[in-house]
Structure 1
Amino acid sequence: MTIPKINEKQKRRDRYSWIIWGIIIIVIYGWCFSDMKFSHIQESAGMVSKSIFMGLIHPDWAYIYNGSGEDLVSQLIMTLAIAFLGTIIAAIISVPFAFFASRSKNSKYNVTSKVGTFLLTAIRAFPEIVLAIMFIKAVGPGSFAGVMALGIHSIGMLGKLFSESIEEMNHSSEYSIVAAGGSKPQVFALSTWPTILPALISYTLYSFEISVRSASILGLVGAGGIGAPMIMALNTRNWPRVGIILFGIVVMVMVIDGCSGYIRKKLV
């Protein structure tokens, strides 16, 4: 059996094609940047950038905990509490929405599922920060506005994920209970709920991860949490304080991601 020889022209073309594409990309980027004007950059931009960088690499370690209730640890705990309560509220309320929006295989038109899907989409369309501003105007600034904003927004996401889990579940155990003479409450308690519960817990943990990140931002508009001291530090150009706050947020998010990922693996 002889191995066919590769055409020399083809080999040369493959060898230098990436160089040609690189030149084309450089020319395109050069053409795009050639029309940009950098005259609006302030003369103090270099000094400000240096002070930001030096502040971030020399964080204010004394702010981690000072017992005042306004320190980093206290604000991170408040942020976690806001995310946790918002996720719990969304998980509880989204369950009936999920059953309402899930499509039944025995139904031909699925009118109720379309209505439920529309409601979940409408709820999900409002960003958390917009909901936070609305609740701040309604109930005043603070943690309660952040909890309500995260809770309402997460209903749309969790309801959609829960409804998909209900649609994809295996109904064989339900048919067995019905064939044995079981009632609808028995079917739900013995088959439906135990089948979808691991997926519900997994999606709730995933939503909690997202809520932790969102709760860190909602404080920027006055909805409580670590965002409030961060915006104050940014406004006063206290870059060491900004550095330690960012460090705390990164550590908190990494710990939450690791714990929730471990729990989800155990559920699968």
Structure 2
Amino acid sequence: MSGILQNRASRSRTATSRPAGERPASALPPRPSRLGQTVATAVVGLVLLVSAATLDVEWSDLRGLPAAVAEYAALMFADPDWSRLPRALFEMWRSISMAWLGAMLCVVVSIPLGMLAAQGVGPAWLRLALRGLFAVIRAVPEVIIALVLLTVTGLTPFTGALALGIAGIGTQGKWTYETVETLRDGAADAVRAAGGGRTAVVRWALWPAALPALLSFALYRFEINIRMSAVLGIVGAGGIGSMLANYTNYREWDTVGMLLIVVVVTTMAVDAVSGALRRRIMEGA
């Protein structure tokens, strides 16, 4: 009993002898401040509220939107006009060709530039310049690029393909250098240990390892171009989009419904095939 009392007394003397500013070992750390997160959330919420309040929108019209959508859906899909299906298929094929040509142009240009923009491949000044170029291209929509090219190349499908190719360089280039930078350094170190220079490292270490991912990204870019080709056709670049814009202006809703069915079915089929190819590339047989 006396030993227990002596231990308690010694612990109390130790506690009283601790400096005033020293925290006990068992005390919890201070709770992290969430002031920055709270302020950022409040600012974002305020921006959203101001944006919604300053829009020139009659919010009461939203109540009639479901009825209007149902009305036009009935006009388009109740009895589609299949008499123009052959021409629609031909224009859809032109859109697919436009998307494929744009994807190939994008891949041929963006992959070499993207690899030069990767850390450890190109010099610092070149990396910064290329990454800045990719960011500028990504900031410009495909429609704006097509409108600029229309003044040079005219109203042709080549304009749409060129616009899709230029617009895809920004995204594809970013995917390329990010893919190269995430690769493991084992193969590159082995090539350097064997006496290989920077070119040998790219050729025998980085390129074989990055190729499956880059091919997958190229196919995904083709899927995106299929959708965008219809949009570019609306501004005069040809393809199914031009046909869709013309019949929409003429208010021939039964033909518009048929064109939308062709676009949706074709896009889903291309996505299914492209997705299967991408899985085969990334995962094997």
Distance 2:82 2:100 in 1: 27
CA-to-aligned-CA distance 1:185-212 (integer Å, 9 cap, x gap): 4433322211111111011111111110
Give the whole-Å Cα distance in 1 for the aligned partners of 2:121 and 2:154. Answer: 46
The aligned counterpart of 1:83 is: 99
- Counterpart of 1:18 in structure 2 is none
- Three-state SS of the structure 2 residue aligned to 1:181 is coil
Q: In the alignment, which of 155, 158, 167 is matched to residue 153 of structure 1?
A: 167
1:137 Cα offset (Å): 1.4
Structure-2 change in CA distance of 1:183 and 1:78 (3 Å)? same
State the shift of 1:259 in Å: 1.0
1:138 alignment partner in structure 2: 152
C-alpha distance in 2, partners of 1:146/1:246?
Answer: 20
Alpha-carbon distance in 2 for matches of 1:131, 1:254:
26
1:94 alignment partner AA: S
1:95 to 2:111 alignment: yes
- Is 1:123 aligned to residue 123 of structure 2? no
The one-character-per-residue Cα deviations of 1:214-261 (angstroms, maximum 9, x if unpaired) are: 001101010111011101110111111101110011111111111111
Give the Å deviation of 1:102.
1.7
Would the alpha carbon gap of residues 146 and 95 (structure 1) be closer, same or farther in structure 2, given more than 3 Å must change?
A: same
Corresponding residue for residue 220 of structure 2: 206
In structure 2, give the amino acid aligned to 1:127: P
Deviations 1:44-63 (A, max 9, x none): xx799636523323211222
Specify the code of the residue in structure 1 equivalent to 2:90.
Answer: S
Match of 1:181 in 2: 195
Q: Which moved more, 1:137-146 or 1:179-188?
A: 179-188
Deviations 1:52-91 (A, max 9, x none): 52332321122221xxxxx011011100000000010010
Alpha-carbon shift at residue 133 of structure 1 (Å): 0.8
| Residue 208 (structure 2) pairs with residue 194 (structure 1) | yes
Amino acid at match of 2:83: A
Q: State the number of aligned residues.
A: 223
2:76 is aligned with 1:55: yes
SS of corresponding position for 2:237: coil
**The 10-residue stretch of structure 1 (125-134 or 188-197) with the greater mean CA deviation from structure 2:** 188-197
In the aligned structure 2, how far is the partner of 1:83 from the partner of 1:92?
Answer: 14
From the superposition, tell whether residues 103 and 177 of structure 1 become closer, same or farther in structure 2 (CA, over 3 Å): closer
Gaps of 5+ in 2: 1-52
Matched residues in 2 for 1:196 and 1:36: separation? 50
Assess if the C-alpha contact under 8 Å between 2:116 and 2:122 holds in 1.
Answer: no
Alpha-carbon distance, 1:105 to partner: 9.3
The code of the aligned residue for 1:142 comes to T
TM-score (structure 1 length as normaliser): 0.76
- Mark the CA change 1:251 to 1:106 in structure 2 (over 3 Å): closer, same or farther: closer
- State the match for 2:24 in structure 1: none
Deviation of 1:115 after TM superposition, in Å, equals 2.0
